[in-house]
């Protein structure tokens, strides 16, 4: 059995039911299952995709994103979602690091095709809504033949490689098995009571496990209906709530919630069919929770990461939602603890690192044994996040042990920006921290030491960073200093910079 069989089973039970709504189109479960089968046949017979091969996708939210996910599951292949907000250089690194065999790309992001043709001509390129290399996905599907299956494929096969930037300054590919999505879905369904009768609205990007796996794949595996928006806009989201076929469940990050509650139509929008709003990805400001609950909509919190698929700790619909900013209890099918630096579980109320173990946890970092060994110890994933547990076991996340900045739901790792700044000929060294921001929660700020006799202004450094990294990673300010605070061993003391910024 593979993950795509769950779609086939739903198609057998309710063939005419809407599986995915997108723009003016509706894909029934029968149609969804048929397109998955056609995609699997085409990938195998036309492009030679075998068990373990990597297929990347660079696109906004689209039904074929999900078609390719389940087609890869059928073949025992792996889908590599590419963040369209990244710079082309970053996307090229991932395509090379994952040794991708096929890239499926949307026309809006086809800027990667030309450099790819020069550096990796072996990668086959297929267009979702275009023919960047003479092949469109629809053309490919029409030419597929055979059974669309590979031998020795089951739920233990790796399915996703989701890249997350690391503290080393280079992104790491977290490998998630098919079974991780099964157990993740079971916990999602437990958290919100998600059932076949539900209608899930997905506006978060599918290149994140939050957009893909908090409710989207759980809904499809339960036989529910998913409405996809290509990208989040407050107007379209509020209009969806007001529509005759309005959603019953939605997942949003704090920045998107804020965009909704600040919208002029927020108070007039009909939220009567919305059973719950799920949020997470960072510490959620209480005023945002209060604004949603004031409209009669319960707010659920999910804590997790790319490495946990991401559902690991959550509050549950019908459960205790009145514990301030608690992210809830360990999920139904995984374990979570708070431990000290020696890995020993600490007493309730004592701060420590969150560790997670369960079938939803990632298998490895792709091609990076050292990073895998550091993060996975005796089956426990060490998150790097600091939390306490109250007397009843509820988790309260306080800080991030890893120096990650979360801006608008996106993870920004200072080491990555520091690496790029360090490549500028005028920069001797740099350190990046997060600054609180009323809209994005945090934004990066760079402290820069220039080389003796060299000169560069903020605009020049911004252009340099922008040539190599995504726009959301650009520091909002550059602070020029004579030196950076360091420990006796030479490590930069980022907390000293935060104190200075404060």
Q: What is the DSSP string of 325-376?
A: T--BEE-TT-EEEEE-TTSPBPPTT--EEEEEESTTS--EETT-HHHHHHHE
Which tokens sit at 116?
């790819």
pLDDT band at 13 (very low <50, low <70, confident <90, very high): very high
Distance CA 400, CA 354 (A): 10
Determine what percent of the chain is predicted with pLDDT higher than 90. Answer: 79
What's the whole-number mean pLDDT along residues 190-208? 97
What's the whole-number mean pLDDT along residues 424-451? 93
pLDDT band at 234 (very low <50, low <70, confident <90, very high): very high
Whether residue 405 contacts residue 442, with contact meaning beta carbons closer than 8 Å, is answered with yes
Residue 12 backbone phi and psi in degrees, to 5: -70, -40
Residue 65 backbone phi and psi in degrees, to 5: -60, -45
Query: Does pLDDT of 488 surpass 50?
Result: no
Determine what percent of the chain is predicted with pLDDT higher than 70. Answer: 96
Query: Does pLDDT of 252 surpass 50?
Result: yes
Lowest mean pLDDT among 213-222, 329-338, 343-352: 343-352
pLDDT band at 489 (very low <50, low <70, confident <90, very high): very low
Query: Does pLDDT of 126 surpass 60?
Result: yes
Whether residue 230 contacts residue 62, with contact meaning beta carbons closer than 8 Å, is answered with yes
> If DSSP codes are grouped into helix, strand and coil, which group holds residue 383?
strand
- The CA-based dihedral angle spanning residues 473, 476, 482, 486, taken in that order and rounded to the nearest 10 degrees: -50
What is residue 67's predicted lDDT score, i.e. its pLDDT? 98
State the DSSP code for 395.
E
Query: Does pLDDT of 281 surpass 90?
Result: no
Strands 171-177 and 158-165: antiparallel
Query: Does pLDDT of 29 surpass 50?
Result: yes
pTM exceeds 0.85 for this model: yes
Lowest mean pLDDT among 130-134, 199-203, 364-368, 457-461: 130-134
CB-based burial of residue 287 (10 Å sphere; 0-12 exposed, 13-18 middle, 19+ buried)? exposed
What is residue 397's predicted lDDT score, i.e. its pLDDT? 87
Q: How many residues does the chain have?
A: 502
Residue 433 backbone phi and psi in degrees, to 5: -130, 170
Hey, what domains does the chain have and what are their CATH numbers? 1-154 (3.40.50.12780), 325-400 (2.30.38.10), 405-501 (3.30.300.30)
pLDDT band at 169 (very low <50, low <70, confident <90, very high): low
What is residue 135's predicted lDDT score, i.e. its pLDDT? 85
What's the whole-number mean pLDDT along residues 126-130? 86
What's the whole-number mean pLDDT along residues 184-210? 97
CB-based burial of residue 481 (10 Å sphere; 0-12 exposed, 13-18 middle, 19+ buried)? middle
Query: Does pLDDT of 398 surpass 90?
Result: no
pLDDT band at 117 (very low <50, low <70, confident <90, very high): confident
Instruction: Report in angstroms the alpha-carbon separations of 249 from 112, 150, 252.
Output: 35, 36, 10
């Amino acid at each position: 059995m593979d993950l795509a069989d769950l779609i086939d089973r739903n198609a057998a039970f309710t063939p005419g039911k809407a599986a995915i709504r997108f723009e003016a189109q509706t894909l029934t479960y029968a149609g969804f299952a048929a397109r998955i089968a056609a995609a699997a046949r085409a990938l195998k017979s036309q492009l030679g995709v075998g068990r373990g091969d990597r297929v990347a996708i660079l696109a906004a939210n689209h039904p074929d994103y999900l078609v390719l996910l389940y087609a890869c599951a059928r073949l025992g292949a792996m889908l590599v979602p590419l963040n369209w907000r990244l710079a082309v250089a970053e996307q090229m690194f991932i395509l090379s690091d994952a040794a991708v065999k096929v890239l499926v790309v949307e026309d809006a992001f086809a800027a990667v095709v030309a450099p790819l043709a020069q550096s990796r001509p072996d990668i086959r390129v297929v267009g979702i809504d275009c023919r960047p290399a003479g092949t469109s996905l629809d053309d490919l599907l029409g030419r597929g033949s055979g059974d669309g299956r590979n031998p020795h494929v089951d739920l233990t096969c790796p399915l996703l490689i989701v890249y997350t930037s690391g503290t080393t300054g280079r992104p790491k590919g977290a490998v998630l098995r098919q079974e991780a999505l099964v157990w993740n879905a079971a916990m999602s369904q437990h958290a919100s009571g998600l059932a076949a009768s539900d209608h899930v609205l997905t506006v978060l990007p599918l290149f994140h496990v939050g957009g893909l796996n908090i409710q989207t794949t759980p809904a499809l595996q339960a036989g529910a209906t998913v409405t996809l928006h290509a990208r989040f806009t407050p107007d379209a989201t509020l209009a969806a709530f007001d529509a005759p076929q309005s959603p019953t469940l939605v997942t949003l990050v704090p920045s998107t919630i804020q965009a909704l509650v600040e919208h002029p139509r927020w108070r007039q929008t009909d939220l009567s069919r919305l059973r719950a709003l799920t949020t997470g990805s960072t510490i959620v400001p209480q005023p945002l929770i209060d604004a949603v609950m004031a409209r009669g909509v319960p707010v659920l919190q999910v804590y997790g990461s790319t490495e946990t698929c991401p559902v690991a700790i959550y509050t549950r619909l019908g459960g205790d939602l009145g514990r301030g900013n608690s992210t809830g209890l360990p999920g139904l099918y995984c374990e979570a603890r708070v431990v000290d630096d020696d890995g020993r579980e600490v007493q309730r109320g004592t701060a420590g690192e969150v560790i997670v173990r369960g079938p939803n946890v990632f298998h490895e970092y792709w091609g990076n044994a050292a990073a895998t060994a550091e993060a996975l110890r005796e089956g426990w994933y060490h998150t790097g996040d600091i939390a306490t547990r109250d007397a009843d076991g509820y988790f309260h996340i306080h800080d991030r042990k890893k120096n990650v900045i979360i801006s608008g739901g996106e993870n920004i790792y200072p080491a990555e920006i520091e690496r790029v700044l360090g490549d500028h000929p005028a920069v001797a060294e740099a350190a990046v921290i997060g600054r609180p921001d009323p809209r994005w929660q945090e934004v990066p700020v760079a402290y820069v030491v220039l080389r003796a006799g060299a000169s560069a202004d903020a605009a020049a450094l911004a252009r340099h960073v922008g040539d190599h990294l995504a726009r959301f990673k650009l520091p909002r300010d550059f602070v020029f200093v004579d030196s950076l605070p360091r420990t006796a061993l030479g490590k930069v003391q980022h907390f000293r910079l935060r104190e200075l910024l404060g």
